[in-house]
Amino acid sequence: MNSARTYRARRLVAFAFAALCTGARLLAQDTVKIQIDPKTVISHISPDFIGFGFETSAVAESNFFSGSNRVMIQLYRNLTTHGLMRIGGIISDHTTYAPEGTPAARTMKEVTVINRTNLADLADFARTVGWKVMWGLNLGTGTREEAVQEALAVDAALGPALQSFQIGNEVEDLRRFKKSYDAYHAAYVDYKAAIHGALPNAPFSGPDSVGNLFWVTNFAAAEGRDIKLLTHHYYRGGAGDPRTSLERLLLTDTNWDARLKKLQEICHDNGLAFRINEVNSFSGGGKPGVSDTFGSALWCLDYMFRAATHGCEGVNMETDVNQLGFISHYSPIVHSPDGQCSARPEYYGMLAFAMAGKGELLKLSVDNTEINLSAYATRENDEALWITVVNKDFARDASVEIALPENYSRARAFRLVAPSMESKERVTLAGSEVSTDGTWTQQLPEKLTADEGKVRLTVPHASAVLVLLNGRN
């Protein structure tokens, strides 16, 4: 009897404590009011906005890019059937093509070797998933003749799946040019002419810049009529920087917003589109406990929408083996030695964008700027509206009130959640995790009740919600 009474007493204390915590959380909620302007379109989200970026060494690995890698194929198809892979990175400037050679995936301190079979496997994979490929050629340590041979082989293998070539990676840092734009551009023109001599219709993108807008501006003016995309890179910082943290990752990078605006202006002036073709949290492979956590999923989702807001054509989230020879901590997808793939938290941020980041990006207003929260509105062709709310705050929940546009009356919610910002497992989107076979199936949505032309819901800290509005007459 005494033990039973003790048990009941403990239960009452636990219930009381839980109620107290719940009440405290409710009191701590910040009210956020969202107003959509369905008549004002900010930008159109490109159908191939979603992409991945790989070092060229990934192509040299067996059992990876292959039409038989069923899990990886499914992970791609979950996102889109018309994305863009960028093959290049630092390793592209330390790669040689040997048609019948022995493939070797090596670090930037050595030479990576790819052969004809590697390219055939990549082409098989690209055709199977329906994605195209942007391919980086060696400008750092190779020769013009070698670049022509490699371009011919890539074009023959990929065919229609080839989106464009790039000549060199992060070209401002290539030692052979000693920080001289004129020396770089002369070499670029020389390589491009030689490649066009062998492949008259070869498409190009560039300059694959890491940060120097002087180079980007000059390249756009000189090459704008002969490139498909202006390309640029972004990382929030370096993995080795002592300031690197989840808190820093999730704060808005106003300097980068200004750079995106400048890229948009450069493209407008030259009739171009731009793509951030290498991007992730922190360079150098990311930081464990930061880049591989649920917080990176929220950052990724928010980043993709911010890029789209500035008219960006798309992003390539860097993934897998890096130039240092290990699988980066920021990788959305990782693979084992036998080629088996699985999804990390950041993949869920991409998956959430795949659900809601389609069609027209609309203007909206958010009246609360105290909480670390972002919101975006998109409209699909069928007139359905998506409102994406990303609560990057570490402590404050948000009580969100969405004013329904005229003729919209029904609302459903799909949540992106995990046990905590630091979680590496148990991440779910729309109630489901990605299965070991790569499949993902959303569960029944949360129905929201409209009241006086508004829907209200709570978006807890360290979470995101995708609200689907329809019912238009």
**Residue 14 confidence (pLDDT) above 60:** no
Above 70 in pLDDT, residue 2?
Answer: no
Residue type, 274: F
Q: What average pLDDT does range 13-28 have in this prediction? A: 37
Q: Are residues 283 and 414 in the same domain?
A: no
pLDDT exceeds cutoff 90 at 127: yes
DSSP 345-376: HHHHHHHHHHHH--SEEEEEEE---SSSEEEE
Q: Angle, nearest 10°, between helix axes 144-158 and 181-198?
A: 50
Give the angle 322-326-327 at the CA atoms, nearest 5°. 75
Cis peptide before 200 (omega within 30 of 0): no
Final residue before a domain boundary, out of 306, 324, 356: 356
278 shares its domain with 378: no
Under 8 Å between Cβ of 157 and 125: no
**Average pLDDT estimate for 202-229:** 96
- 7 occurs within a structural domain: no
CB count, 10 Å around CB of 30? 17
User: In 3-state terms, what secondary structure has residue 412?
Assistant: strand
Q: Is residue 300 part of a domain?
A: yes
| Token reading at 211 | 């940060």
Residue 96, Cβ density class (10 Å: 0-12 exposed, 13-18 middle, ≥19 buried)? middle
> Helix (H, G, I), strand (E, B), or coil: what is residue 462?
coil
Q: What is the CATH number of the domain that holds 410?
A: 2.60.40.1180
Name the nearest CA neighbour of 322 among 72, 94, 129. 94
Q: Looking at the structure, do residues 225 and 85 belong to the same domain, yes or no?
A: yes
The dihedral built from the CA positions of residue 112, 114, 118 and 122, taken in this order, carries a sign that is positive
Q: Does 328 map to a domain? A: yes
Does residue 160 sit in the same domain as residue 282?
yes
pLDDT exceeds 60 at position 282: yes
Give the pLDDT band of residue 472 (cuts 50, 70, 90). Answer: low
> Based on the domain organization, do 233 and 344 belong to the same domain?
yes
- Cα dihedral 221, 226, 228, 230, rounded to 10, equals -20
Tell me what percent of the residues of the chain surpass a pLDDT of 70.
Answer: 94
Instruction: Please give the structure tokens belonging to residue 223.
Output: 């090459």
Report if residue 137 sits inside a domain: yes
**Does 225 share its domain with 153?**
yes
- Shared-domain flag, residues 232 and 366: no
Query: Which of 337, 356, 375 is at the close of a domain?
Result: 356
Question: Which CATH number goes with the domain that contains 52?
Answer: 3.20.20.80
Residue 198 in any domain: the answer is yes
- Name residue 288's amino acid: P
* Residue 341 and residue 382 share a domain: no
Helix (H, G, I), strand (E, B) or coil at 200: coil
Q: Residue 15's pLDDT is what?
A: 32
Question: Is 20 within a domain?
Answer: no
What per-residue confidence (pLDDT) applies to 58? Answer: 96
Mean of per-residue pLDDT scores for the chain: 92
408 found inside a domain: yes
Instruction: Retrieve residue 281's tokens.
Output: 């949290």
If asked whether residues 430 and 285 sit together in one domain, one would say no
Question: Over the stretch 30-83, which tens digit does the pLDDT of each residue have?
Answer: 789 999 999 999 999 999 999 999 999 999 998 789 999 999 999 999 999 999
On whether the CB atoms of residues 171 and 207 are closer than 8 A, the answer is yes
Nearest 5°: phi and psi at 120?
-65, -40
Q: Give domain status of residue 36, yes or no.
A: yes
Q: What would the mean pLDDT of 343-366 be, rounded to a whole number?
A: 97
Owning domain of residue 347: 47-356
> What is the per-residue pLDDT across 400-419, written as a single tens digit (0 to 9) for each?
999 999 989 999 999 999 99
Query: Does residue 400 contact residue 366 with C-beta atoms inside 8 Å?
Result: no
Quick one: tokens of 192?
């491009």
Same domain, 417 and 307: no
pLDDT at 28: 53
Going through 130-273 in order, the beta strands assigned E by DSSP cover: 132-137, 162-167, 206-209, 230-238
* pLDDT tens track for 116-126: 999 999 999 99
pLDDT of res. 211: 86
- Whole-prediction pTM: 0.92
What is the average pLDDT across 251-267?
97
Least confidently predicted of 299-303, 374-378, 379-383: 379-383
What average pLDDT score do residues 393-401 get?
Answer: 96
User: Does one domain contain both 318 and 406?
Assistant: no
Given a contact cutoff of 8 angstroms between Cβ atoms, the answer to whether 30 and 399 are in contact is yes
CB 249 within 8 A of CB 394: no
Block residue for tokens 């930037």: 108
Residue 317: closest CA among 358, 348, 340, 287: 348
Distance between CA atoms of residues 203 and 199, nearest Å:
9
Query: For 311-332, how does the pLDDT look when each residue is reduced to its tens digit (9 = 90+)?
Result: 999 999 999 999 999 999 999 9
Q: How many domains does the chain have?
A: 2
Encode 104-162 in three state secondary structure: ECCCCCCCEEECHHHHHHHHHHHHHHCCEEEEEECCCCCCHHHHHHHHHHHHHHHHHHE
Residue 382: its pLDDT value, please?
72
CB 355 within 8 A of CB 301: no
Question: CA-to-CA distance for 224 and 202, rounded, in angstroms?
Answer: 15
Beta pairing class for 454-459 and 385-391: unpaired
Of 356, 385, 408, the last residue of a domain is 356
Query: Could you tell me if 222 and 270 lie in one domain?
Result: yes
Neighbour count for residue 364 (Cβ, 10 Å): 18
- Determine the pLDDT at residue 10: 37
Report the helix count and the strand count for the chain, using DSSP H and E: 10, 23
